[in-house]
């Protein structure tokens, strides 16, 4: 009997919360946000890889700038970056 009563109370409370206007408005706002996110310009995989390679090259350039003795390795590093 207790379980039946608990089940009934739970079902009634769920139906009350499911039909609340606040929840429906929140869902509508969420759907609008998802639509806006899907419409934004997205970076392609090729653009991401190109940006990643240039960031790695910049990292090696900064190493060489800090330690001038590393310039002899810079050419090898740059070739290795763009071979990936």
- pLDDT at residue 4 in the model: 41
What average pLDDT is seen over the chain?
A: 76
Q: What is the Cα–Cα distance from 63 to 49, expressed in whole angstroms?
A: 21
Digit-coded pLDDT (tens) for 29-78: 788 888 887 888 888 889 999 999 999 999 999 999 999 999 889 888 88
Please determine, for residue 28, whether its predicted confidence score (pLDDT) is greater than 90: no
Looking at the structure, tell me whether residues 52 and 27 fall in a common domain: no
Looking at the structure, tell me whether residues 32 and 50 fall in a common domain: no
Q: Which two tokens stand for residue 68?
A: 């001038």
Overall domain count for the chain: 2
74, 64 contact by CB (below 8 A): yes
Please determine, for residue 9, whether its predicted confidence score (pLDDT) is greater than 70: no
Share in percent of the chain as helix, strand, coil (round to 5):
90, 0, 10
- pLDDT at residue 10 in the model: 46
Domain ranges, residue 12: 2-39
């Amino acid at each position: 009997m207790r379980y039946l009563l608990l089940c009934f109370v739970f079902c009634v409370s769920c139906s009350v919360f499911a039909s609340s206007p606040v929840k429906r408005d929140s869902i509508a706002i969420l759907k609008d946000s998802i639509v806006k996110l899907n419409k934004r310009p997205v970076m392609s995989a090729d653009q991401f890889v190109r940006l990643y390679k240039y960031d790695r090259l910049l990292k090696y350039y900064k190493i060489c700038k800090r330690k001038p003795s590393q310039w002899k390795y810079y050419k090898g590093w740059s070739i290795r970056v763009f071979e990936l």
